[in-house]
Structure 1
Amino acid sequence: MRVNANPSHETAGALAAGGPLLRSLCRLHHLRQRPESDLPPAQQQPRDLDYRVVKNRTYTPPDWPQPLQADIYLPATAGAARRPAVMMVHGGGWEGRSRDDMTPIAKRFVRRGYVVVNVSYRFAPEYRFPAQLNDLQVARHWIDDHAGEWRIDSQRIAGLGYSSGAHLVSLLALVAGTSSSLDAPYGGSDTGFAAVVSGGTPADLRLWDSGRLLIQLMDGTEAERPTAYAEASPVFHVHPDSPPFFLFHGSWDDLVPPEQAETFMQALEAKGNHVELLWMNGRGHITTFLFRGSAESAALDFLAREMPAPNA
């Protein structure tokens, strides 16, 4: 079913109240997360750690079309053990906003012992897709290059994004090390993630009528560039070895309709992958992000289970 990019709240409410979403709510009720403190002791993360922030580190090479920066959040943990990490990517319709939007999330995660790398990327329409994905591929290599310096366990790096950031993080995770043309020349198997947290995700760009944001990102409408729209959609790249995904989505989202989350979940499940979906009931696209505390808690629980410490 195709939907408009901006359906009414009544339409979004109807989607959330019936049909496949109602079945999904029933089927996924058991996935509502336990409090993190209820996890087995070996899977619990430390809490309220001190940390320091290294701001505005340029991660792109000197010849990159635009210098891009990242902020690195480093927890104050004792000992020489390597730590899990999360690469965070902000939203903004692929055309704006900044990594500052992710700062409160970064602070919560670093206090739980995660090294957080909060990155910027190039914007449309000056830079068309896949420029944004290429930026993240370079950033992901850069994290591995500094794993020793930041004491990161390279086997426990997750991706986290919201909205357009979720689209890019999901694509990065799914095309890494595959035969997709999007994986070359900047990707590779080491640009993937051990787990992904993806909120308000534009998972299938073909489910919308082509609006301004998509046209300026993709340099044309879906009718003009159907293959490009398919290849830019995370659902197109789901495969049996996809990393585990934690999805969260507003049930009244009228910008990225709930059908996107349902479609993404079904595509991942169909290939035998582990996926969890948390509905933010009665919330739209913006309010899901602004009042995301329960989703953050569930995501922390998810990552603690999917990326446990060695020998846990």
Structure 2
Amino acid sequence: MPVSPLLVVTRLLRCLSIGLLLPCVPTGALAQQLASPRDTSFTVHSAYVKAKKQHPDISIARPPVPRGVRAQTKLTYCTPGSRALQLDVFYPKAKRRQQFPAVLLIHGGGWRSGDRSQHVPLAQQLAGRGFVAVTAEYRLSTEAPYPAAVQDLKAAIRWMRANARTYAIDTTRVAVWGFSAGGQLAALIGSTNGNSLFEAGSCHRPHSSAVQAIVDVDGILAFLHPESGEGNDSKSTSAATYWFGSNKLTRPDLWQQASALSYVGAGTPPMLFINSGVDRMHAGRDDMMRQLTALGIYTEVHSFPEAPHPFPLFNPWFQPTLEYTVNFLNKVFPRR
């Protein structure tokens, strides 16, 4: 029986009035009735138009595809419910018995916008440098709340290992790279190796979702932190509040749970941080680096103080971002 739209609105307004979203999110047939359209507010073009106002000399990074790079696109890696999640693979031609380190690339967009195509240029360049690079989509907050995105991306890593022979992936050298919200996800994924909370579904479960290196590009490390700007709902509902389904006063446990800084330990992989001059985009970074250093875990940071937040998408920052990434991965993944 169809549900009254007035009843739905009344329920949602009541939940919003007390700062609680998650228990009021419609499910099943009702969710399909009220499914939100895809949020396309964050694109390379929209970010370029905005950034160009302060940086008139920038250009969108579209370098030539290196010779010998192969690609397989629109591959389904997992199907939670009826949702087919897809990824693209960019890889070099392998000689007999040759294996390459692999990198999962995660796009940003405030956990509710963006798409995997935004890092195809970087994936192509990494493949040209001897890496298998995978760009994966994940369920955004318009589809499913936290921790669905984390669980999806861990499934993508399991898919990479399940298909290691096809793409000549060295399963002992897998890294995760992310920008903005993708950087937050990359840091959380890498710092929660083996944590059952973030594993879900049956997709490729015999395989590990653990990673051996993390590259966080302007992604927050701690939500409930003096440096964090996330969760300010005074003017409008923040991206993080949408993602968690509740504000930070109502469910601080979720906000803490999604912070990579909460999980630093002896098993945390080496980490590279690449940052703009927008400090709130890497809240908790210095605390995390101090803890990693105290544990003897390799970490390094590179900053572009003059750069806008979406700097890795644009020249002149694309190439140095690529170089910092490659140099770091070659350091922590010695070639065999």
- Both proteins in one fold, TM over 0.5: yes
Match of 1:210, as an amino acid? G
| CA drift at 1:51 | 1.4
Q: Which moved more, 1:124-133 or 1:187-196?
A: 187-196
| CA drift at 1:94 | 0.4
Distance 2:105 2:141 in 1: 19
User: What are the superposed Cα offsets for residues 51-74 of structure 1, whole Å, 9 maximum, x if unpaired?
Assistant: 11111001113x535211000112
User: What are the superposed Cα offsets for residues 66-105 of structure 1, whole Å, 9 maximum, x if unpaired?
Assistant: 2110001121233321111111111111001111110110
Indicate whether 1:263 and 2:287 are aligned: yes
Distance 2:308 2:141 in 1: 24
Secondary structure of 1:299's counterpart equals helix
Q: How many residues align?
A: 260
CA 1:174/1:188 → structure 2, altered by over 3 Å: closer, same or farther? Answer: farther
Residues 1-312 of structure 1: pairs in structure 2 closer than 5 A: 48-61=66-79, 63-178=80-195, 181-183=197-199, 190-207=208-225, 208-211=229-232, 212-250=238-276, 252-253=277-278, 256=281, 258-287=282-311, 289-290=313-314, 291-310=317-336
CA 1:59/1:209 → structure 2, altered by over 3 Å: closer, same or farther? Answer: closer
What's 1:41 paired with? none
Secondary structure of 1:214's counterpart equals helix
Partners of 2:100 and 2:132 within 8 A in 1? yes
User: What are the superposed Cα offsets for residues 1-20 of structure 1, whole Å, 9 maximum, x if unpaired?
Assistant: xxxxxxxxxxxxxxxxxxxx
TM, length-normalised to structure 1: 0.77
Partners of 2:191 and 2:264 within 8 A in 1? yes
CA 1:276/1:260 → structure 2, altered by over 3 Å: closer, same or farther? Answer: same
User: What are the superposed Cα offsets for residues 149-185 of structure 1, whole Å, 9 maximum, x if unpaired?
Assistant: 111110111111111111111111111114x633567
Root-mean-square deviation (Å): 2.2
Partners of 1:249 and 1:288 within 8 A in 2? no
| CA drift at 1:287 | 3.0
Match of 2:198, as an amino acid? L
Match of 2:179, as an amino acid? Y
Distance 2:89 2:194 in 1: 26
| CA drift at 1:261 | 2.7
Distance 2:286 2:243 in 1: 24
Question: Whose relative contact order is higher, 1 or 2, with alpha carbons under 8 Å and at least 6 apart?
Answer: 1
Distance 1:272 1:151 in 2: 31
Unaligned runs of 5+ in 1: 1-46
Bigger Rg over Cα: 2
Partners of 1:77 and 1:113 within 8 A in 2? no
More helix per residue: 1 or 2?
1
Distance 1:91 1:115 in 2: 20
User: What are the superposed Cα offsets for residues 258-303 of structure 1, whole Å, 9 maximum, x if unpaired?
Assistant: 5443233223224332110111122231235422321210110111
User: What are the superposed Cα offsets for residues 188-239 of structure 1, whole Å, 9 maximum, x if unpaired?
Assistant: 9921112111100111011335131011001111111111110100111111
Match of 2:327, as an amino acid? D
Unaligned runs of 5+ in 2: 1-64, 233-237
Partners of 1:238 and 1:271 within 8 A in 2? no
Partners of 2:118 and 2:313 within 8 A in 1? no
Distance 1:264 1:287 in 2: 22
TM, length-normalised to structure 2: 0.72
Partners of 2:223 and 2:283 within 8 A in 1? no
Partners of 2:220 and 2:280 within 8 A in 1? no
